[in-house]
Amino acid sequence: MSIRLRLTLLYSTILALTLIVFGVALYSIQAQDTLNSLERDLTMSSEKLVEAALKTDSAPQDDIQKPEDHPPKPFDEFSNEQVFQTLPEREIARILDVNGDLVASPFGRVEDALPLSEEGLAALQNQQDWWESATVSDEKMLIYSRPVVRNGEVVYFVQVARSLTERDRTLKSLATTLGGAGLVTILIAFGAGWVLSGLTLRPIQRITQTAQTIGEERDFTQRVAYSGPPDEVGQLASTFNQMLTRLQDAYQKVEHALELQRNFVADVSHELRTPLTTLRGNLGLLRRDPPAPPEEQADILTDMVDESDRLIRLVNDLLVLARADAGRNLTKDPLSVLPVLEEAVRQAHLLDANRKIELATLPELSIPGNRDALKQVMLILLDNALKHSEGDIRVAAEQDGKYVEIRVQDHGLGIPADQLERVFDRFYRGDESHHVPGLGLGLPIAKTLTESMGGEIRIESEPGVGSTVTLRFPAENNPKLN
């Protein structure tokens, strides 16, 4: 169901409910008002009849209790009071005895008796008024009965009645009119609501069409053209355009990530293929018949051990990257920088005892980080510096405002500017010479671990001069030495 139809139905439903409430209220008020008017008229008539009955001499009590001996009398025989002779048109009056039997009517006929329930008779005998409705000669009547009390005793009952046919006919006509007018009003409102909602939602339809076009063509450079007022629809168009801008950026990042993933899979396959092929070939040599000489077998086993170690290093590096990609955050505690740098420099010195690694740092520098992760990052940077440079290596740390910067500087061949953007790509190696060992995973691991600790890493290089890698972390306010 479209929004246009839902809005139209909502308008129509609200209007219908309003008309129903209004109609029911009007009908109820009219019904109650007409009923009250009838009751007032019957009450006034009964008061006059009671006064006239009190002026009329009553028959002995024992005679009243024998209706078969005293049939009903016409009003002109029952009383000389004028009120009995000039009853209002459409109004019925009856006089009953204390037993509820008919005593007098306009024509004195037995069949003129009006219905009186047992509950009504009991109420009248207890000197209480009684209202009830009943059907008389296929006509619905409102009957009001009240006692005539003389000297504290009930002598007669007066009944006055009015037909409810005219009232019911009027109410039925009112209900028909309200229903018909309400139905016509709802139909007109439905049509008007359909037209107005269509005009209101037309800009949204244009936005929808634009979105469909963008989705089909995958062209996130398109934008929704909206020149209307800055109302809700205008805000929707503006928000939609902002979302398209973010989607365009995200789409480009995803495309780049997919490209990196494809390259990553290809590189992993290439890196795994070489040692596995070597291992498979060496196993074939060991199974050769006649077997190879012992010296050759020893060389084959040494080669197999080296390739196995290479596979283990590759798998370990990939495991570190996989854990980082899975979003596992490192535990970060206040970490003193100097002890970690000293330990990393000491261990890196064991890799090449002839190279000098200078450590220049300020004490009491502290960051929120992970000791093992920071140490691994520093060992990766120092190992790269030892492999790709000559001369001394300098490690320094200092505080720059709210941040702590750690720099590893070497003096080597440097990295060309066109390769700097790819040095953090997995399996990318700027130096493709086979005499430099490595898998191209060191800097990507360093980048991943640094960012997991809330820091950032950047590299600056000048060909022929050397490279400087800078780690930047937020400074810890309350350092705790680890």
Q: Is the alpha carbon torsion for 238, 240, 241, 247 positive or negative?
A: positive
- Stronger pLDDT, 421 or 329, i.e. the higher one: 421
What average pLDDT does range 61-87 have in this prediction?
Answer: 72
The pTM is what?
Answer: 0.47
268-282, 405-419, 441-455: lowest mean pLDDT where?
268-282
Q: Selecting from 1.10.1060.10, 3.40.50.1370, 1.10.287.130, 3.30.70.2190, what CATH number does the domain 232-324 have?
A: 1.10.287.130
- Mean per-residue pLDDT for 304-309? 81
Q: Give the residue, 201 or 187, on which the prediction is more confident.
A: 187
Cα gap 369→260, rounded to integer Å: 28
- Of residues 273 and 99, which shows the higher confidence score? 99
**Residue 439, CB half-sphere, CA atoms under 13 Å: how many?**
26
Instruction: Please tell me which residue, 222 or 460, carries the higher pLDDT value.
Output: 460
CATH superfamily, domain 3-170, is PAS domain (3.30.450.20)
Q: Which pLDDT tens digit goes with each residue over 228-247? A: 677 777 788 788 888 888 88
305 Cβ contact list (under 8 Å, min separation 6):
none
- CATH class of this structure's domain 329-474: alpha beta
Residues ≥6 apart with Cβ < 8 Å to 244: 214, 220, 222, 223, 224
Strand partners, 335: 367
Q: What does the alpha-carbon distance between residue 418 and residue 254 come to, in Å, rounded to a whole number? A: 22
Sequence ranges of the domains in the chain: 3-170, 232-324, 329-474
Task: Identify any residues that bridge with 157 across adjacent strands, giving them in sequence order.
Answer: 96, 147
Task: State residue 329's pLDDT score.
Answer: 59
- Which is higher by pLDDT, 315 or 330? 315
